[in-house]
Amino acid sequence: MSSANSSSSRDDQLAAVLASPIPRVLPREVRRAILSQAAPLSFGIFGALFGGFGLVFVWIFFPRNIAQEWRLNSEETARAAGFIHGAADTWMTVNKEKVSIYLFEFRNEAGAMLRGQCFTTGRRWQTGDIVDIIYLRENPAIARPDGARLSSTNMGSMIVVLFPLGGAGLALWVAISRRRTVNAFVNGRVIEAFVTDIEHTQTIVNDYSVYKITFEQPGLAHEPIILRHWKPKVVAFLQTRRETQQPVFLLADPRNPTVFFLPETL
C-alpha cells in the first residue's frame, strides 16, 4: 500500500513539474526517478576506477622515450663506434624474455664524449662489447645502439593508453547522459502526441526486441516523431495508449530537439 501511495505521490509531483514554467524545479523524488532512466551511476564509477587502474599501467608500460625514437627514425642521423660499459636484466619481461638495460658511450663527429642508456628484449650485448651507435646529428644526446630501443617497452605497449581513455570516456558518457536527462526535465518543451504505429524491428537489446514507435502531434500529421524503445514496460505502456487512443506526453531535449523523453514511463 505504501508503495502504491509513493508511486501516486511521485506521479502527482511529476504532473505538477511538467505543468510548471521553465526552468522547472525538480523535487528530490522526481529527480531520483528521472536519473534512474539515465546512464547508471555505477557505470560512471566503474569507468573512473577502470581509468585509474589504466593510468597505473600507462605509468609502468608506456614507452616514455617514444618521441625520441620517432626523431631518430625520421630526422638526419649520424653513426659512430661506441661500447657498452654496463649491462643488466630488468624486472620486466616481453614475450617471456627479460628486458635488458645497457649503459653505453661514444664520441660524436665533434669528438665529444656522450653517454646514454638503452634497452633490448633478451640480452644482446655484454659489458665491453663494441656497438654501432646511431645519434641525431643536431642533438647527439639522442642516441642508441643499432638494434636497441630507448624505452624499456616497445611501441606496441602504447596500446595501454586505451585503458584510461576508455574509462574516462565511459565516465564522461555517464555524466553527460545524467546531466542531459535532468536538463530535459528542467528546460525541455512538453509535447502532446498520439501513438500511430508500433513496428517490431530485427534489432535486439538485452534479449529484448527493439520497437519503432511513431507519434503524431495534433495538426502536424506531416511531422511524425519516431522513437525506438526496447524496454518491455515502455513498449507495453505505448501499446496501451495506442489501443485506448490516449495522448502521450513527450519531453523534447532542449539541446537536441530530435531527442525525446517519455516522462510518464518513469
Q: How far apart are CA 84 and CA 76, in angstroms?
A: 24
Phi then psi dihedrals of residue 102, to 5 deg: -130, 145
Q: How far apart are CA 50 and CA 55, in angstroms?
A: 9
What pLDDT digit, counting tens, does each position of 163-216 carry? 999 999 999 999 998 998 888 888 888 889 999 999 999 998 888 899 999 999
What pLDDT digit, counting tens, does each position of 56-77 carry? 989 988 998 999 999 999 999 9
From the CA atom positions of the chain, what is the Rg in Å?
31
Question: Could you tell me the pTM of the whole model?
Answer: 0.70
Q: DSSP class of residue 33? A: H
What pLDDT digit, counting tens, does each position of 113-126 carry? 999 999 999 999 99
